[in-house]
């Protein structure tokens, strides 16, 4: 690290010289995972509140969320500030196509500047590690981690040339792994540490890389919409021994999760604290390396996790999840 980089790092740690950069329609932001939930809300916020030009990437261009975003597109002087593209992070051809489409958008106006890439897309599957199929485990790693890496690598030369920033949306699961979310937590923890490495690498090119951890939006998004389909596949793959051991527990476990299943309409979040942190991550001249938005309950447990010995952390983790366990299910069955 050079002397100027060290000085800049010290100024950032002390909060010196931080100011909000003004953004407008000339500033272009690309956001992934915009079909619903946080990504959809970020796209709407950047378009309506920050008046930026938004490239919103949806997994399904025909989804309700994608159609709502397309409805926000209004051309002025032949230029629209909302561009909705289809993106599958598991398909390299889809990533390359989005790159070409982004270049075409930027070419429409010489004043455009690619301000930020926001990696928000992700998939989640609940289930103990033994239950989850190889395809379910690999889908979470492939989308949440490798897909994010693929897209970032594809766009990195363009981001570097325009000194755009990268905001990676990770998870509390990347700070404290939770039972029944092992592969998901692994993908988010890996994303967290890759974000840290990328931040150090790109500082020398005048780029900022941010780790953004929102609160839990599993009930407000479609990240777990296919949970019951995932569960059915797990159940069908059980051996006779696994059926005998797990069936009662498995039914209680997935019965508890039925509220997550099914595709929900896009939900525009009204969390003012989260939006304020997101705006700072996107527009601060010296953004923090890590932003965490969490309810009081999360903050309390995270503080306890940092203080307690491992056996107590394990007990607290089970209490935090508040889900059926093998022990509790068997105990109820014996009463």
List helix spans (H) across 22-107. Answer: 37-48, 64-72, 92-107
CA 271 to chain centre: 16
Residue 325 parent element (H or E): none
Residues whose CB is less than 8 angstroms from the CB of residue 207 and which lie 6 or more positions away in sequence, other chains included: 159, 160, 163, 164, 165, 166
Q: Give CA–CA dist 58/92, Å, rounded.
A: 15
Q: Give CA–CA dist 174/294, Å, rounded.
A: 14
Closest-CA residue to 181 (of 216, 233, 221)? 216
- Catalytic residue check, 184: yes
First vs last Cα of the chain: how many Å apart?
64
The owner of tokens 């992700």 is 122
Residue 110 three-state SS: coil
Give the tokens for residue 135: 């395809």
Q: Give CA–CA dist 38/223, Å, rounded.
A: 10
With contact defined as beta carbons under 8 Å apart, do 195 and 169 qualify?
Answer: no
Closest-CA residue to 274 (of 298, 310, 308)? 298
Among the options 45, 112, 184, 249, which is catalytic? 184
75-76 and 79-80 beta bridge pairing: antiparallel
Residue 31 three-state SS: strand
Count H helices, E strands: the chain?
A: 13, 9
Give the tokens for residue 149: 């890496």
Q: Determine the length of the chain.
A: 335
With contact defined as beta carbons under 8 Å apart, do 116 and 168 qualify?
Answer: no
Enumerate the active-site residues.
184
């Amino acid at each position: 690290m050079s002397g100027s980089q060290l000085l800049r790092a010290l100024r950032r740690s002390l909060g010196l010289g931080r100011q909000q950069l003004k953004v407008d329609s000339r500033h272009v932001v690309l956001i992934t995972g915009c079909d619903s939930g946080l990504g959809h809300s970020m796209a709407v916020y950047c378009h309506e509140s920050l008046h930026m030009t938004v490239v919103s990437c949806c997994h399904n261009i025909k989804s309700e969320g994608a159609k709502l975003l397309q409805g926000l597109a209004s051309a002025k002087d032949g230029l629209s500030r909302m561009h909705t593209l289809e993106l599958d992070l598991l398909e390299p051809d889809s990533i390359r196509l989005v790159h070409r489409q982004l270049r075409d958008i930027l070419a429409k106006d010489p004043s455009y500047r690619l301000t930020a890439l926001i990696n928000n897309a992700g998939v989640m599957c609940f289930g103990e590690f033994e239950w989850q199929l190889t395809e379910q485990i690999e889908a979470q790693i492939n989308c949440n981690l490798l897909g994010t890496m693929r897209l970032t690598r594809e766009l990195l030369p363009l981001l570097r040339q325009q000194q755009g920033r990268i905001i990676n949306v990770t998870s509390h699961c990347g700070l404290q792994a939770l039972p029944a979310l092992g592969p998901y937590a692994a993908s988010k923890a890996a994303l967290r540490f890759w974000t840290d490495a990328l931040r150090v690498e790109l500082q020398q090119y005048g780029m900022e890389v941010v780790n953004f951890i929102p609160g839990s939006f599993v009930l407000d998004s479609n990240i777990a919409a296919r949970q019951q389909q995932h569960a059915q596949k797990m159940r069908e793959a059980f051996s006779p021994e696994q059926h005998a051991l797990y069936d009662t527990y498995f039914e209680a476990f997935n019965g508890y999760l039925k509220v997550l299943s099914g595709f929900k309409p896009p939900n525009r979040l009204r969390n003012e604290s989260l939006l304020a942190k997101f705006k700072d991550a996107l527009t601060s001249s010296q953004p923090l390396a890590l932003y965490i938005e969490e309810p009081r309950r999360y903050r309390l447990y995270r503080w306890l996790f940092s203080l307690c010995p491992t056996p107590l952390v394990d007990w607290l983790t089970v209490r935090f999840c508040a889900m059926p366990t093998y022990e509790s299910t068997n105990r109820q069955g014996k009463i």
